[in-house]
């Protein structure tokens, strides 16, 4: 089986990129293939413009960059997102990728007089969010629940995709990098198992 690993970090030496690479190594060790979509290195434009809004309203065809990203997802049996937590959310680069790629007519069917039809029921999603704060800070402020509400439910469940892994890799600047890389490899090995091993 095949996974698309989307990385949203500008620094190729970052722990986020290391986590993505270790997920990939785990996939390969389990006999699967993967592709990495490095949004920063590839220069993906995350700006949602009036042209994107016309696509959403089904008054225009999606542009080539959006079609290319959709094709990568369509080739994949699983989608893995590896991203740093910026201001208690995902980076603008990743949010813009979702805004522009997960569009009406592809991720959902929606119209003013029709209910939402979820179109990504075949897609498994694995979320790996890296944060500098420790567990107690995230627990104290309810971040894990907020992330699951905003991202797991608000984005992926809305499209019908199944979030299999929703993992916070925290305290990432205090010597936990190796532990996070091992976790990422285990997740990669388990992407196509019934339940991901964490």
Query: What's the confidence (pLDDT) of residue 30?
Result: 97
Query: What's the confidence (pLDDT) of residue 194?
Result: 57
Model pLDDT for residues 139-149, shown as the tens digit of each residue: 898 988 998 99
Query: What's the confidence (pLDDT) of residue 198?
Result: 45
Query: What's the confidence (pLDDT) of residue 197?
Result: 45
Domain-by-domain residue ranges, the chain?
Answer: 2-190
Q: Which residues of the chain have pLDDT under 50?
A: 195-198
| Distance from C-alpha of 144 to C-alpha of 91, rounded to nearest angstrom | 16
Closest CA to 177 of 166, 168, 169: 169
β-pairing verdict for 108-111 and 114-118: antiparallel
Query: What's the confidence (pLDDT) of residue 144?
Result: 85
Homologous superfamily of the 2-190 domain (CATH)? Flavodoxin domain (3.40.50.360)
Show Cβ contacts of residue 104 under 8 Å, excluding neighbours closer than 6 positions.
55, 56, 57, 58, 110
Structure-token match 């990203």, residue found: 69
Q: What DSSP letter does each residue of 154-172 carry, written as one string?
A: IIIIHHT-EEEEEEEE--T
Query: What's the confidence (pLDDT) of residue 133?
Result: 87
């Amino acid at each position: 089986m095949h996974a698309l690993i989307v990385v949203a970090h500008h620094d190729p030496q970052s722990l986020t990129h290391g986590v993505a690479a270790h997920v990939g190594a785990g996939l390969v060790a389990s006999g699967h293939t993967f592709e990495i979509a490095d949004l920063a290195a590839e220069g993906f434009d995350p700006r949602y413009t009036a042209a994107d809004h016309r696509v959403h309203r089904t008054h225009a065809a999606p542009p080539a960059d959006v079609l290319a990203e959709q094709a990568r997802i369509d080739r994949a049996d699983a989608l893995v997102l590896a991203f740093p937590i910026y201001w208690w959310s995902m980076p603008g680069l990743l949010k813009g990728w979702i805004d522009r790629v997960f569009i009406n007519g592809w991720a959902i069917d929606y119209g003013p007089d029709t209910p939402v039809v979820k179109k990504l029921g075949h897609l498994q999603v694995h979320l790996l969010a890296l944060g500098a704060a420790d567990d107690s800070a995230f627990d104290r402020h309810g971040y894990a629940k907020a992330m699951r509400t905003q991202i797991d439910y608000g984005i992926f469940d809305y499209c019908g995709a199944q979030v299999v892994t929703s993992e916070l890799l925290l305290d990432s600047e205090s010597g936990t990098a190796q532990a996070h890389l091992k976790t990422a490899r285990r997740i990669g090995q388990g992407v196509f198992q019934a339940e991901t091993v964490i």
